[in-house]
């Protein structure tokens, strides 16, 4: 059976060559992520061109995702990293004031002092260092180190449970967003999204630049969890970004939140990605840990649309082995079923109800194929979110960009096909494409779902056809 769970990998020094990108496409990658926290513009533009070129060589629809940095709080530059001991005092100050103690660094968010209070926990470098805020002044805070460790330059700061008055988009984000639009990005991810207004601001900024990418909202803190329904409803895709989220919440709550978000995305009709540390040990090791195998299996069993690799493929030693491992795990667990969250989709309109009926018909016919004819991909996504049991689920669309945007959607294989005004001709051409790809045989039942208008075919219609 073909794999249903899609795979996103992050490009970086380990995977930036055209040869390696081609190998990863051949290995089963569906989407390439460019992390704008680290990427230079020239590099990102070149990577986009290489992905497009290598995809075209293979006649595959591979998407490019620009992941914006977002309003993250970071420490300043240090001449040498600080070796911190438990009980040490560390100062975080505005960049326009001088240090008051030896262990001092700046922060890139001058409003920090107004958002925190004494007693708050401050986490540095994704949990490497834990500190307690002892004193808050107008221009600096003093923290006591609770866990020893090394603090280098430009380290990320988290403040679990603290509401930060950060903007939705920084100046850097807006510059990177313009590049993403210029490069024809298929997806743009907003980092540290905290409410629906942040997603709306990102979408409006993109549309003002005449971009048509789909928006991914990364869920990374407690405020986003509190506003999760509103964020899901306004986003094209949700990413459960477990790195920062795992710092912002108690670690024992993280698996529960992951499952809750995935289930709610199913119910509300929005695609979902599970990301971060899926195969973290494979950055340096050639095989995953048993815990990582189980983690990937759980995400695939929850029927997330896509899984994402970060450092494993951007800087890791074994990017190809990582891709092979995650595909093997997902492919092994998928035939055993899933949690069935797709059965709880809230059907809000006739289009979704028609999609449910088509799935019921296709699932009831032996060896049936399910085809969706769609111009924008919306109907295909509705169908996919209900998780049809048939492994043979195809979308036909006249637009290459829609084919690429469907590359993140679970279970779909997209084909580019120009639509005729005569629906019978369109169906015949679609069937012929499937025959050439050896995906149907003469007599194979095909359930066709369409939301396009033609001379003889109404919108939101179902047709049973035989190859």
Tally the C-alpha atoms within 13 A of residue 171's C-alpha that lie toward its C-beta: 2
**Helices 319-333 & 18-27 angle (0-180, nearest 10):** 10
| CA quadruple 171, 174, 176, 182: dihedral sign | negative
Q: Which residues does 148 contact at the CB level (< 8 Å), separation at least 6?
A: 84, 85, 86
Q: How far apart are CA 450 and CA 440, in angstroms?
A: 19
Going by the DSSP 8-state scheme, the letter that residue 229 receives in this structure is: H
The C-alpha atoms of residue 135 and residue 118 are separated, in whole angstroms, by: 5
Judged on CB neighbours under 10 Å (0-12, 13-18, 19+), 230 is middle
Q: Would you tell me the crossing angle of helices 41-57 and 171-182 to the nearest 10 degrees?
A: 30
Per annotation, catalytic residue among 93, 140, 203, 218: 218
CA distances, 69 to each of 189, 219, 242 (Å): 9, 13, 16
Phi/psi at 248 (5° precision): -75, -25
Calpha distance 70→221 (Å, rounded): 13
Say which residues have a Cβ less than 8 Å from residue 202's Cβ, sequence separation at least 6: 68, 168, 169, 177, 188, 190, 193, 215
276 is catalytic: yes
DSSP 367: T
Query: What's the CA gap between 137 and 388, in Å, rounded?
Result: 57
Does the active-site annotation cover 242?
no
Q: Where does 37-102 have alpha helices with state H?
A: 41-57
Catalytic, out of 276, 374, 397, 444:
276
Q: Of these residues, 3, 4, 6, 74, which one is catalytic?
A: 74
Alpha-carbon distance 191 to 196, whole Å?
13
- Whether 33 is catalytic is yes
Phi-psi region of 77 (alpha: psi -120 to 50; beta: other; left: phi over 0): beta
Residues facing residue 107 across a β-bridge:
75
The residue whose two tokens read 């020893």 is 148
Catalytic (active site) residue 218: yes
Host H or E run for residue 226: helix 222-226
Of 6, 33, 271, 387, which one is the catalytic site residue?
Answer: 33
Positions marked active-site: 33, 74, 218, 276
């Amino acid at each position: 059976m073909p794999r249903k769970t899609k795979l996103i990998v992050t490009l970086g020094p380990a995977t930036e060559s055209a040869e390696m990108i081609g190998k990863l496409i051949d290995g089963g990658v569906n989407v390439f992520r460019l992390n704008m926290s680290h990427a230079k513009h020239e590099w990102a533009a070149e990577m986009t061109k290489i992905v497009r070129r290598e995809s075209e060589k293979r006649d595959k629809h591979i998407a490019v995702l620009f992941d914006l940095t977002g309003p993250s709080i970071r420490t300043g530059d240090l001449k040498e990293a600080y070796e911190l001991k438990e009980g040490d005092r560390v100062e975080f100050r505005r960049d326009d004031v001088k240090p008051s103690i030896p262990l001092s660094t700046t922060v890139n968010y001058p409003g920090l002092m107004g958002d925190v209070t004494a007693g708050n926990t401050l986490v540095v470098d994704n949990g490497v260092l834990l500190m307690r805020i002892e004193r808050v002044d107008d221009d600096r805070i003093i923290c006591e180190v609770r866990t020893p460790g090394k603090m280098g330059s430009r380290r990320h700061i988290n403040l679990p449970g603290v509401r930060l008055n950060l903007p939705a988009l920084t100046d850097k984000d807006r510059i990177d967003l313009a590049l993403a639009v210029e490069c024809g990005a298929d997806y743009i991810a907003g980092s540290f999204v905290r409410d629906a207004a942040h997603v709306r601001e990102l979408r409006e900024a993109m549309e003002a630049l005449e971009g048509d990418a789909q928006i991914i909202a990364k869920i990374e803190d407690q405020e986003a969890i509190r506003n999760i329904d509103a964020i899901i409803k306004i986003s094209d895709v949700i990413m459960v970004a477990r790195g920062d989220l795992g710092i912002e919440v108690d670690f024992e709550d993280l698996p529960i939140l992951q499952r809750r978000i995935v289930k709610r995305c199913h119910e509300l009709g929005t695609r979902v990605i599970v990301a971060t540390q899926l195969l973290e040990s494979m950055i340096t090791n050639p095989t995953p840990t048993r815990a990582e195998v189980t983690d990937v299996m759980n995400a695939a069993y929850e029927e997330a649309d896509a899984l994402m690799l970060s450092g494993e493929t951007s800087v890791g030693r074994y990017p190809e082995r990582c891709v092979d491992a995650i595909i093997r795990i997902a492919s092994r667990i998928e035939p055993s079923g899933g949690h069935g969250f797709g059965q709880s989709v809230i059907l809000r309109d006739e289009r979704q109800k028609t999609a449910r009926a088509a799935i019921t018909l296709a699932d009831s016919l032996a060896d049936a194929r399910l085809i969706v004819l769609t111009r924008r991909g919306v109907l295909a996504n509705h169908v996919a979110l209900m998780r049809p049991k048939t492994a043979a689920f195809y979308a036909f669309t006249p637009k290459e960009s829609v084919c690429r945007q469907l590359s993140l959607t679970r279970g779909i294989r997209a084909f580019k096909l120009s639509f005729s005004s005569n629906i019978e001709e369109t169906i015949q051409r679609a069937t012929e494409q499937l025959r050439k790809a050896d995906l149907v045989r003469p007599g194979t039942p095909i359930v066709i779902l369409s939301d396009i208008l033609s001379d003889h075919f109404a919108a939101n219609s179902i047709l049973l056809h035989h190859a």
